[in-house]
């Protein structure tokens, strides 16, 4: 079981959405939180909303290893040590295969995957150093388990985060450091607009925002689960040292369907080998 009270946490993407909700839930349980985000203005407003008694803030670009290292030093300077790491910052990107600018591929990979890697590689030694245990939380998505048309780069990065989290869980099992992977479907946030900041956004933005796919996703996100409700679910999962944190009963069947499809292919291959 992971204790949260009186622990020190680092949360990326803390200016809004799930990151802000996680910060509120941590503070409510008695933790101190370093709120990190690359949006300085939004970060200041979010910290004012949460309150400054149990929080500090630092501007951080998770795609930049040096920026994450500077944020880690700021966390140590503020709190002395860190126990809980939340690699939450992320972006979305839509597009069809063969039509996606490679600059956008690099952009989403640098944030969604390498942002998590930078967090783990920077903070894990700091968590391990004090020998008081801790917990790493990586934000993936249900898109880290099942796929659909139109968002290949997003699915690719989220599958990577899920696999990485599962590997970390095995690696750290005996260390006293837990690992959880957040796998929500629709939670109210600004995730559907984050591709506005991609390198090739000027090429596709207006056309994409007029598409039926964007309008459907926007509706699902805007009518999704409250981030505060999901953050509370996350706290319970962390305390119970649970790996995956799901939230949508309607998505459960998709996991079953994928599992059965994989087994069907597996058995067919074995049959071809006469095994």
> Looking at residue 187, which CATH number applies to its domain?
3.40.50.720
pTM for the full predicted model: 0.95
Is residue 41 a part of any domain in this protein? yes
User: Where does the pLDDT of residue 105 fall: very low under 50, low under 70, confident under 90, or very high at 90 and above?
Assistant: very high
Q: Is the pLDDT of residue 139 over 90?
A: yes
Give the per-residue pLDDT at 170.
Answer: 97
**Mean pLDDT on 133-158:** 95
Inter-CA distances, 10 with 68, 74, 83, Å: 11, 10, 8
Q: Which of 43-57, 187-201, 237-251 has the lowest mean pLDDT?
A: 187-201
Give the per-residue pLDDT at 201.
Answer: 84
Q: Write out the H or E segment, with its range, that includes residue 230.
A: helix 227-239
Is residue 265 a part of any domain in this protein? no
Q: Which of 28-42, 194-208, 230-244 has the lowest mean pLDDT?
A: 194-208
**Mean pLDDT on 165-186:** 96
Catalytic residues: 154
Is residue 92 a part of any domain in this protein? yes
| % of residues, the chain, pLDDT over 70 | 96
- CA separation for the pair 234, 90 (Å, rounded): 17
Is residue 63 a part of any domain in this protein? yes
User: Where does the pLDDT of residue 205 fall: very low under 50, low under 70, confident under 90, or very high at 90 and above?
Assistant: low
User: Where does the pLDDT of residue 98 fall: very low under 50, low under 70, confident under 90, or very high at 90 and above?
Assistant: very high
Judging by DSSP bridges, how do beta strands 134-139 and 177-182 pair with one another? parallel
**Mean pLDDT on 204-229:** 77
| % of residues, the chain, pLDDT over 90 | 83
Total structural domains in the chain? Answer: 1
Q: What's the pLDDT tens digit per position in 117-129?
A: 999 999 999 999 9
HSE-CB of 100 using CA atoms within 13 angstroms = 19
**Mean pLDDT on 238-264:** 97
Is residue 168 a part of any domain in this protein? yes
Q: What's the pLDDT tens digit per position in 14-37?
A: 999 999 999 999 999 999 999 999
Is residue 146 a part of any domain in this protein? yes
The boundaries of the domain holding residue 57 are: 8-250
Q: Is the pLDDT of residue 207 over 80?
A: no
Residue 95 near residue 152, CB atoms below 8 Å: yes
| Residue of 181, 153, 156 lying closest to 166 (CA atoms) | 181
Q: Is the pLDDT of residue 224 over 80?
A: yes
CA end-to-end span of the chain, whole Å?
43
- CA separation for the pair 156, 152 (Å, rounded): 6
Is residue 158 a part of any domain in this protein? yes
Inter-CA distances, 71 with 10, 146, 207, Å: 9, 33, 37
Read off the tokens for 217.
């996703």
**Long-range contacts: 106-113, Cβ < 8 Å, 24+?**
106/199, 107/63, 107/198, 107/199, 108/153, 108/154, 108/157, 108/198, 109/153, 109/156, 109/157, 110/63, 111/62, 111/63, 112/154, 112/157, 112/158, 112/160, 112/161, 113/157, 113/160, 113/161, 113/164
Q: Is the pLDDT of residue 208 over 80?
A: no
Is residue 69 a part of any domain in this protein? yes
- Average pLDDT of the chain is 94
Q: Is the pLDDT of residue 202 over 90?
A: no
Q: Is the pLDDT of residue 217 over 90?
A: no
Give the per-residue pLDDT at 209.
Answer: 67
């Amino acid at each position: 079981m992971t204790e949260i009270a009186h622990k020190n946490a680092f949360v990326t993407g803390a200016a809004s959405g799930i990151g802000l909700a996680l910060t509120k839930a941590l503070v409510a349980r008695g933790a101190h939180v370093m709120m990190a985000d690359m949006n300085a203005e939004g970060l200041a407003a979010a910290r004012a909303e949460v309150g400054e008694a149990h929080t500090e803030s630092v501007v951080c670009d998770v795609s930049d290893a040096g920026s994450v290292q500077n944020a880690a030093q700021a966390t140590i300077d503020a709190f002395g040590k860190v126990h809980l790491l939340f690699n939450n910052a992320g972006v979305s990107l839509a597009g069809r295969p063969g039509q996606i600018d490679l600059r956008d591929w690099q952009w989403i990979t640098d944030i969604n995957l390498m942002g998590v890697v930078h967090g783990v590689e920077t903070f894990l030694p700091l968590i391990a150093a004090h020998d008081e245990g801790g917990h790493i939380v990586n934000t993936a998505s249900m898109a880290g388990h099942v796929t659909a048309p139109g968002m290949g780069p997003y699915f690719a990065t989220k599958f990577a985060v899920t696999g990485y989290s599962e590997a970390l869980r095995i690696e750290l099992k005996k260390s006293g450091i837990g690992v959880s992977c957040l796998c929500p479907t629709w939670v109210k946030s600004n995730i559907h607009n984050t591709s506005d900041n991609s390198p090739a956004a000027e090429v596709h933005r207006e056309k994409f925002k007029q598409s039926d796919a964007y309008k459907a996703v926007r509706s699902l996100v805007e009518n999704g689960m409250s981030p505060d409700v999901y953050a509370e679910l996350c706290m319970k999962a962390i305390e119970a040292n649970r790996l995956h944190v799901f939230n949508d009963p309607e998505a459960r069947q998709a996991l079953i369907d994928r599992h059965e499809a994989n087994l069907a292919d597996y058995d067919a291959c074995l049959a071809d080998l006469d095994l």
